Amino acid sequence: MELAPAWAKGFSRLGAAHHGLRQYGEARDAYERGLALEPGNAQLQSGLADVEAAAGKGGDEGGLGGLFSSPEALAKLAANPTTRAYLQQPDFVAMFQAVQKDPAAANRHLSDPRMMQTLSVLLGINMMSGDAFAKQQASQSQAPPPPPPPPVEVEMTDAEKEEAAEAAKAKAAKAAAVAEKEAGNAAYKRRDFAEALARYDAAIALDPSDISFLTNRAAVHLEQGDFAACVADCDAAVEAGQAARADFKAIARALARKGSALQKSGDLAGAVAAFGKSLMEHRTAETLGKLQAAEKALKAAAQAAYEDEGLGDAAREAGNAAFKEGRFPEAVKQYSEAIARNPRDHRAFSNRSACYTKLAAWAEGLKDAERCVELAPGFAKGYSRKGAVQFFMKDYDKALATYQAGLAQEPDSEELRDGVARCSEQIGRAARGQLSEEELKERQARAMADPEIQMILTDPVMRQVLSDFQSDPKAAQHHTQNPGIMAKLQKLVNAGILRLG
């Protein structure tokens, strides 16, 4: 062991080591050398006194043998982070046991840093210099870690072996099921439905927990027109999916496919319900579109089922009776029933328009009259109904056009001729300046809200025409030769917007 030549503390530790080994002469020599360097060192003086006392007693205080054989020795080594690792090393354990049996054997192992560290721990002092201890720590940190202990093989119980075998079997079955599904998908794309069904059947048999196999098989049934089988597969998929808490998108897909099958089979109410449930699971634009189409078809089917021409005629006659008695709300109710029973009966629309006119419900009356004309363009009464509503709405220009269109269908109609005369009179009053200020403002306000009037007033050509009429009589005279321009000017005159002459 090398010590720094002028380090008194080193001689103190060397003396302590020799003392522990009952080498009292060497211990005395080490302490004296230390005191020669530092005469007032209390630790050296105390150590020398202890050695003298021990030597005088013949060394009976137990020495190194007692140190290693002490019951606390192993506990001290196990508590120290450095020496704890030594206890895992077989050669150190053998060395430790040899010193326990023969303390003199320690002399042969002092060159081993582990023995010096062990003595440091057992004596409670640092036996090495700072440099030596740092080198030891560095060498220990760079030394490769001890090899890991060999794995301990635990014997599995029969139940565990059976469980492991079942798990491996289930994993293999799932993999095989996925392969069958993929083969079924390829067959479906080729429209080889028989092959696709066989593949999906095999996949379901291998792994009944995957509901996608059921919904894929349902798609095949749907293509084949076997709607009942499709619905059955979709129901089974939904039930299994809900029990297993499957992905809500997969459940939604099964419900949507069920809806398609029900719609194609004619069960529109069931289709609407299935599409609605699908959207509750997962909302997609495609399923929403299918729901709306099914609802529209259901409404049309309900209307078609309700239609009955005979009952429609009876309701219309009941409405006529109520109309004659002045019970207009009751008449509207009967005519509405007649239209529901026969939506193509133009007479019911015409009569209901007359009722709405009596009730001053202009918008409803105009709508019914327009529908009447649309259904029966040759029915003059429809034009008189429409013209009457427009007249009461003070759209005299439009009413005049309606009455004239009716006369084209029935030239001898006194009702239509009377309508033309009344409209012409009202329009003429505006042209002659016979309207009161209030009437003129009302008519102009109504005209300015008319899209047709707005279009005329914003037309660049007509704006130039109107400007010419005010500032260029020659150009204005030229415009009067154009029938299209004159028709637009007449509309402005009829509306009270313009006065010519």
Domain with 461 in it: what CATH number? 1.10.260.100
Residue 69 lies in a domain: no
- The predicted pLDDT at position 93 comes to 87
- pLDDT tens track for 476-498: 777 777 888 877 877 777 666 67
**DSSP designation for 107:** G
Do residues 254 and 196 both lie within one domain?
yes
Confidence grade of residue 2 (pLDDT, cut at 50, 70, 90): very low
Residue 316 lies in a domain: no
- Domain identity same for 227 and 260: yes
Q: What angle do CA 17, 23, 25 make, to 5 degrees?
A: 110
Residue 352 forms part of a structural domain: no
Sequence-ordered list of residues with C-beta below 8 angstroms from that of 276, at least 6 positions apart, any chain: 291
Please compute the mean of the pLDDT values over residues 262-282 and round it to a whole number: 94
Q: Are residues 263 and 196 in the same domain?
A: yes
Confidence tier at 3 by pLDDT (50, 70, 90): very low
Same domain (yes/no): 11, 102? no
> Does a structural domain hold residue 116?
yes
Residue at 125 is within a domain: yes
What CATH number is given to the structural domain containing 48? Answer: 1.25.40.10
Give the tokens for residue 240: 């299994």
Residue 310, domain member (yes or no):
no
Tell me which residue of 250, 240, 201 sits closest to 221, measured CA to CA.
201
How many CB atoms are closer than 10 A to CB 397?
25
pLDDT at position 29 is 85
Looking at the structure, tell me whether residues 197 and 292 fall in a common domain.
yes
271 belongs to a structural domain: yes
* pTM: predicted TM-score of the whole model, two decimal places: 0.50
Same domain, 205 and 292: yes
The Cα–Cα gap between 187 and 197 comes to 9
Tally of structural domains, the chain: 4
The single-letter code of the amino acid at 186 is: A
Q: Does one domain contain both 131 and 199?
A: no
Asked if the model's pLDDT at residue 446 lies above 50, the reply is yes
Q: Same domain for 119 and 236? A: no
- Is 55 inside a domain boundary? yes
Give the contacts of 178 (CB within 8 A, at least 6 positions apart). 203, 207
Q: What is the mean pLDDT of residues 125-133?
A: 53
Secondary structure (DSSP) of 304-369: HHH--HHHHHHHHHHHHHHHHTT-HHHHHHHHHHHHHH-TT-HHHHHHHHHHHHHTT-HHHHHHHH
Q: Are residues 46 and 7 in the same domain?
A: yes
Domain of residue 95, residue span: 74-137
The pLDDT value recorded for residue 417 is: 96
Residue in the block written with tokens 């008194």: 8
Alpha carbons 64 and 23: distance in angstroms, whole number: 10
Cβ–Cβ under 8 Å, residues 433 and 424: no
Query: How far, in Å, CA of 167 to CA of 161, rounded?
Result: 10
Same domain, 208 and 264: yes
One domain for residues 186 and 261: yes
Residue 323's identity, in one-letter code, is F
Identify which of 389, 387, 415 has the alpha carbon closest to the alpha carbon of residue 401: 387
For range 296-309, the mean pLDDT: 92
- Residues 127, 19 within the same domain: no
Which of residues 305, 322, 338 is at a domain's end? 305
pLDDT tens digits, 250-268: 999 999 999 999 999 999 9
